[in-house]
Structure 1
Amino acid sequence: MDKTAIFRGCSQNFVPVLSTKMSILTLSDALLQRLSARAGTVIRDRILSGFCLRVGRRSHTFLVATSVAGKQFRMTIGRWPLVSVEEAREIAMPILRLCRSGQRPVGAGRPVRLTLKAALPAYAAAKGIKQSSVRRYESILRTHFTEWADASVTELATPGFHEHCQKFAASKGAAIVEVGRGLIGSMVKYLNAVHDMALESPFDKLAAAGLLPDRAQPRARKLQEKDLPAWYQAVQKLPELQRDYLMLTMLSGLRRGESADIRVRDIEWGARVLYIPETKTSVPHSLPLTARMAEILERRAIGLHASDKVFSKMSAEHVAEMAQRAGAPKFMLHDLRKLLATVGERQGHGDAVLRRILNHKAKRADTLHRHYVSVSADDVRLPLESIQKELLRQMMCAAVATTNHQATLSSTENVDVEAHLER
């Protein structure tokens, strides 16, 4: 088949049929799903020179095919569809960069020992894992898998590693076991897909045998609604920066890092929307900018540039401790988020609304909310304002008492909350 026929085969309605002669196409998952070619055919990628696909009878193999210092170089990257075209292309790019600089990549030719520690950065890059999570995974390997982090990954198939995982699961807390189990399981899958291995995670067998601890339970909330007046009084004694941070975190339901990382450019004053580009779930988030939130952020944004953080001169790690020293009941920052969710549930707001405010995903089996129901920031504006009003009302029990209004909890419903919050 000539080249013109091959290129005509790239149209959406045509199934590419290729001979064993090397061809050049724009590789994509969609193309490979409808590809019909003889086993042994090698297809070069039009986007990334040196990135190729070898067609097999049952699976297709990604590889790098180029030259290093005048000598041919071949390196297997992984198998499709376990590794997508985009993932394989991302893995191939640094390898080709080394080749073109005249360096033979590690793992090529006579293989250099691959370890968990060495594979972690490539795994994290391929999965788009945040740097904070990478540091946590490095700590897990360094602390709980010290002997195995620098050992060859082939050692993961030995009885010694299985015994180590069993002791780890039996001696550590449920939360750390969950993280360790997830990390080892994910890296085993990655090594199998990218490096054509056949490893098994010992934790899968331990789970099947019932030898893993029960799932870690969420930590109980320390700050209760009855504690809000005392909490509010203590927060008002803090410097303005810390006070604003705690109040915004309470009223928005944001995670502590999401509140601390807000930049001036993330605030859309005209549309009255607050954007959170970096989140725990790696899914950008947005919230309606209510009047109380806007008041806090306007005060914090004075004199700052667009790229500046509005809470840049404050440590989120220590702000709860500062409030407790000022007289607040013992609490964790995550309690503020839980309180907002509790009040929202009590007011009767639906799961979709609360998930949208808290930036939670619906369960995989929940097809309705994962694929059909779409809730925008504007859709949750009124519910969020209602929740904030109730939280402020409960906090204002203390403010009313200190201003000698002699109000009881039932009579505070008629108090002008916003007026009492003005400083």
Structure 2
Amino acid sequence: MVTAQDLPLWWKAVLVEPDYSRDFLLMALFTGMRRGELMKLRWENVNLETRTLYLPKTKNGDPLMLPMSNFLTDLLKERHARATSLDWVFPGPGKTGHMVETKKFLLRVSAGSGVSFTLHDLRRTFITIAESLDVPYYALKRLLNHRTNSDVTGGYIVVDAERLRGPVQRVADRILELVGEYS
């Protein structure tokens, strides 16, 4: 996990990265999405008007609709304006057409910040910040796309993108506060 204390150093190292790696890492931090979900994100599943991301296929097989914070919406609007691919948010040179490798830029950011981390650590950081803001348990589970069907109560609760919009914005605001970009 990237701790609150380490986040400013990590942020500074990320901001000097090329836009493809910078934006990828910031999206990972601001959404808690899994590596593969980010790599395979298509522009057709990004709705800048409704400020939502749609993941038709996730690790657990369930689709997921996530709201975007103001910060993430702005980042994706800028990214879309300079997009070189109409298909992939994070295009790559290989057969798949999307980014497949992150090791080099993870190593650069780790070296530049002195913070050793993995992409999964950014998922942990996102959800830890959300939990510290007292985001409700079932909203936390939905943000990570963890199933609640083993919990009888969870089966009754509908947590949609609009219900998650407030928590997502609060997490983004807290991240920006921790890195000194927002007060």
Match status 1:375 vs 2:140: no
Match status 1:289 vs 2:74: no
- Among residues 20, 25, 37, which one is paired with 1:246 in the alignment? 25
Question: Percent identity of the aligned residues?
Answer: 29
Measured against aligned partners, the alpha-carbon deviations of 1:290-314 in whole angstroms (never above 9, x if no partner) come to: 22111121222234554x1111134
Match status 1:346 vs 2:111: no
Residue 417 of structure 1 aligns with which residue? Answer: 182
Counterpart-to-counterpart distance in 1, 2:57 and 2:75: 21
1 or 2, which has the higher strand percentage? Answer: 1
Measured against aligned partners, the alpha-carbon deviations of 1:330-351 in whole angstroms (never above 9, x if no partner) come to: 0111111111111111111111
The size of the alignment, in residue pairs, is: 175
Q: What residue identity is the alignment partner of 1:353?
A: A
Give, in angstroms, the shift of residue 236 of structure 1: 1.3
Post-superposition, which runs of at least 4 consecutive aligned residues in structure 1 deviate over 6 A? none
Residue 299 of structure 1 aligns with which residue? Answer: 78
- Among residues 113, 118, 135, which one is paired with 1:327 in the alignment? 113
What SS does structure 2 have at the residue aligned with 1:318?
helix
TM-score by length of 1: 0.39
Counterpart-to-counterpart distance in 2, 1:375 and 1:322: 37
Measured against aligned partners, the alpha-carbon deviations of 1:207-245 in whole angstroms (never above 9, x if no partner) come to: xxxxxxxxxxxxxx4x22211111111111211111111
Counterpart-to-counterpart distance in 1, 2:12 and 2:48: 30
Residue 95 of structure 2 aligns with which residue? Answer: none
Match status 1:236 vs 2:15: yes
Distance 1:311 1:328, change over 3 A: farther
Give, in angstroms, the shift of residue 289 of structure 1: 2.1
Counterpart-to-counterpart distance in 1, 2:173 and 2:113: 24
Across the aligned residues of Structure 1 and Structure 2, the Cα RMSD in angstroms comes to 1.8
What SS does structure 2 have at the residue aligned with 1:287?
strand
Choose 1 or 2 for highest CA Rg.
Answer: 1
Measured against aligned partners, the alpha-carbon deviations of 1:229-265 in whole angstroms (never above 9, x if no partner) come to: 1111111121111111111110111111111211110
Verify the 8 A CA contact 1:250 1:337 in the aligned structure 2: yes
Q: What residue identity is the alignment partner of 2:108?
A: M
Residue 311 of structure 1 aligns with which residue? Answer: 90
Residue 144 of structure 2 aligns with which residue? Answer: 358
- Among residues 45, 49, 53, which one is paired with 1:270 in the alignment? 49
Distance 1:277 1:319, change over 3 A: farther
Q: What residue identity is the alignment partner of 1:280?
A: K
Counterpart-to-counterpart distance in 1, 2:13 and 2:32: 20
Residue 168 of structure 2 aligns with which residue? Answer: 384
TM-score by length of 2: 0.88
Q: What residue identity is the alignment partner of 2:10?
A: W
Q: What residue identity is the alignment partner of 1:358?
A: L
Counterpart-to-counterpart distance in 2, 1:283 and 1:385: 23
Q: Which has the higher contact order (CA 8 A, sep 6+)?
A: 2
Counterpart-to-counterpart distance in 2, 1:224 and 1:389: 16
Q: How does 1:127-206 map to 2 (within 5 A)?
A: none
Q: What are structure 1's unaligned runs of at least 5 residues?
A: 1-220, 397-415, 419-423
Counterpart-to-counterpart distance in 2, 1:316 and 1:377: 28
- Among residues 34, 38, 55, which one is paired with 1:255 in the alignment? 34
Distance 1:272 1:230, change over 3 A: same
Residue 4 of structure 2 aligns with which residue? Answer: 225
